[in-house]
Amino acid sequence: MIKTIKEQTLGQLGGSGSVLARQRRDHAELDRLMDHYALAGGDERERVLKEIVQLVFSHAFAEETVLWPVVRRSVADGEELTSRVEEEHQEINDLIAEVEALSPGAPVRGEKIERAFSLIRQDIRHEEDLLLPRLQEAMDTARLRRLGAAWEAARLTAPTHPHPVIPRRPPGNAVLGVPLSGYDRSRDLLGGPIGQGVRRLLTWAAGLLFAAFTAARRLRKRS
């Protein structure tokens, strides 16, 4: 019987550098932050929400860029498993984008945040109980650790806010995500949006990069 990674020891997961251990640490931190948000108030609540958003999107980007392609190649029903998670990610993306467009006092904002939190918790359970144990069966410890290092590198350079222009799968998410990551991390550092003009410019540049990348791939296939 496949055992959820939530109940396994660190050794069973492949050590602290394993992608399974890294995933579980992020999940535990998200649970802690969401619980903290429920108890906090005022400025503290907004600060915690900001932390949650940053972690959710950097974590999901690393999954979609590095981890899920490996699951699709290595696990028999990997396509079905990752498609389910990607649908959850997209709904979370849309909800958080709506939340960020609303003022803290907007009546529907709280409902959207609670719905997003519910989806995040559901997503964690799907990954820890179904998807990640299947990956664990397909890989030895050395591969899980190498995958963990690649996952961490992607996470550290990932966007930290929702962007409708970024697709859920490579190569599009990787090509578009890098320039928008710079915008997001500058925004996080400065404590607010840099400006819609800068964002539009980065989105345009990212789209241009993706179009060039796609065209180059097509040319290589024809030659």
pLDDT class of 199 with cuts at 50, 70, 90 = low
Q: Give the model's pLDDT for residue 220.
A: 53
Peptide bond into 171 cis (omega under 30): yes
Q: How many CB atoms lie within 10 A of CB 121?
A: 14
Q: What percent of the chain has pLDDT over 70?
A: 84
pLDDT class of 184 with cuts at 50, 70, 90 = confident
Residue-wise pLDDT for 61-101, tens only, equals 999 999 999 999 999 999 999 999 999 999 999 999 999 99
Q: Kindly state the tokens that stand for 92.
A: 């979370």
Q: Kindly state the tokens that stand for 115.
A: 């719905």
pLDDT class of 211 with cuts at 50, 70, 90 = very low
Q: Give the model's pLDDT for residue 193.
A: 56
pLDDT class of 203 with cuts at 50, 70, 90 = low
- Buried b / exposed e over 6-30, threshold 16 CB at 10 Å, is eebeeeebbeebbbbbbbbebbeeb
Q: Give the model's pLDDT for residue 167.
A: 78
Which residues, in sequence order, are CB contacts of 76 under 8 Å at separation 6+? Answer: none
Residue-wise pLDDT for 23-35, tens only, equals 999 999 999 999 9
Q: Kindly state the tokens that stand for 130.
A: 């179904």
**Per-domain residue ranges of the chain:** 1-158, 160-223
Range scoring the smallest mean pLDDT among 129-133, 136-140, 142-146, 177-181: 177-181
- Buried b / exposed e over 53-76, threshold 16 CB at 10 Å, is bbbbbbbbbbbbbbbbbbbbeebe
Q: How far is CA 128 from the centre of its chain?
A: 15
Determine the straight-line distance between the first and last CA of the chain, rounded to whole angstroms: 48
